[in-house]
Amino acid sequence: MSNLTVSMADTGEKEKEKERRESIARNKRGRHDYHILDTWEAGVVLTGSEVKSLRDGKANIADSYAIVKDGEVFLLNLHISPYEKASYFNHEPTRTRKLLLHRKEIRKMIGAVERQGLTLIPLELYFKNGKAKVALALGKGKKLYDKRADEKRRDDERDMQRAVRTR
């Protein structure tokens, strides 16, 4: 009976190892500038030199955004620095990259972007099980007063936490 328990514990640890998620770049302005309504995880079509550069952590996702075109989703303005050792096989730093999503997810995005006027924002670029993924969010732009209200709410929560700690 104890052998069964040990083997179940081992499989649980193996599953955790499989779900390794190594973050490369985050879009800090994404949650600040937009109300996040929905999120998806999408694969990214990359070349070899781009993957090597990502493994070195040389990516900037801050100015990037996604568009839906001809039933496919593309990521624009994602800056991946050229890999130094790639010689003439190197890639263009800000080329348009295709995102891999299910057709049902793409249809939902098309409806939201075209009819409701929402924006597709990449929140994070990371490796999951050795594959490059991007956390893509559907967002509605915040007004200046919304940003101020969020900042005030965070400050108030921080002050309350301080007060609770001192008591």
| Residue 16 scores a pLDDT above 50 | yes
* pLDDT tens sequence across 120-165: 999 999 999 989 999 999 888 888 888 899 899 999 999 999 999 9
Res 40: pLDDT: 92
| Percent of residues, the chain, with pLDDT higher than 70 | 89
> Mapped to the 3 state alphabet, what secondary structure does the chain carry?
CHHHHHHHHHHHHHHHHHCCEEEEEECHHHHHHEEEEEEEEEEECCCHHHHHHHHCCCEECCCCEEEEECCEEEEECCEECCCHHHHHHCCCCCCCEEEECCHHHHHHHHHHHHHHCCEEEEEEEEEECCEEEEEEEEEEECCHHHHHHHHHHHHHHHHHHHHHHHC
Tokens coding 124: 């994070």
Average pLDDT of every residue of the chain: 84
| Residue 94 scores a pLDDT above 70 | yes
**Integer Cα distance of 34 and 24 in angstroms:** 21
Residue 7 neighbours by CB distance under 10 Å: 10
Res 10: pLDDT: 52
Q: Are strands 119-128 and 34-44 parallel, antiparallel or unpaired?
A: unpaired
Res 11: pLDDT: 52
Q: pTM surpassing 0.85?
A: no
Res 15: pLDDT: 57
Res 1: pLDDT: 46
Res 123: pLDDT: 92
Res 45: pLDDT: 92
CATH number listed for the domain at residues 20-161: 2.40.280.10
